[in-house]
């Protein structure tokens, strides 16, 4: 991974607006998935990334997040729980 890619990826992973929005949507989806339309959630996830200057090329339920492209590499960014009231936002390259 180049320094440019790492810098851009860390900027996404440290974006508190994206983290908070995805955490909220994930919690809500967990509680309401039987009654609500996934498309509404995927649109909100895509909007969160767009507001931060990134295009979500794919939205995922498990893990809850999105694929984004940084410097010609697709990254799966996602929210995961790390214990009671702790979350983290992580990424891994898409193969």
Q: How are strands ordered across the β-sheet holding 73-81? A: 56-60, 65-70, 73-81, 87-93
The answer, yes or no, to whether residue 35 has pLDDT greater than 90, is yes
Q: For position 88, what pLDDT does the model report?
A: 75
Domain ranges for the chain = 3-93
Please check whether residue 5 is in contact with residue 68, taking contact to mean a CB–CB distance below 8 angstroms: no
Place 84 in a pLDDT band, splitting at 50, 70 and 90: low
Place 6 in a pLDDT band, splitting at 50, 70 and 90: confident
Q: What is the mean pLDDT of residues 29-51?
A: 94
For 7-71, the DSSP string reads: HHHHHHHT-HHHHHHHHHHHHHHHHHTTTS-HHHHHHHHHHHHHHTT--EEEEETTTTEEEEEET
The pTM score is: 0.86
pLDDT in tens, 46-64: 999 999 899 999 999 988 9
């Amino acid at each position: 991974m180049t320094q440019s890619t790492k810098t851009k990826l860390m900027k996404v992973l440290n974006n508190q607006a994206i983290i908070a929005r995805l955490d909220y949507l994930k919690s809500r989806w967990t509680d309401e998935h039987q009654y609500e339309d996934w498309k509404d959630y995927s649109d909100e996830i895509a909007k969160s990334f767009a507001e931060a200057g990134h295009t979500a090329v794919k939205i995922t339920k498990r893990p809850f997040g999105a694929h984004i492209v940084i410097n010609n590499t697709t990254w799966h960014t996602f929210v995961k729980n790390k214990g009671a009231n702790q979350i983290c936002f992580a990424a891994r390259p898409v193969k």
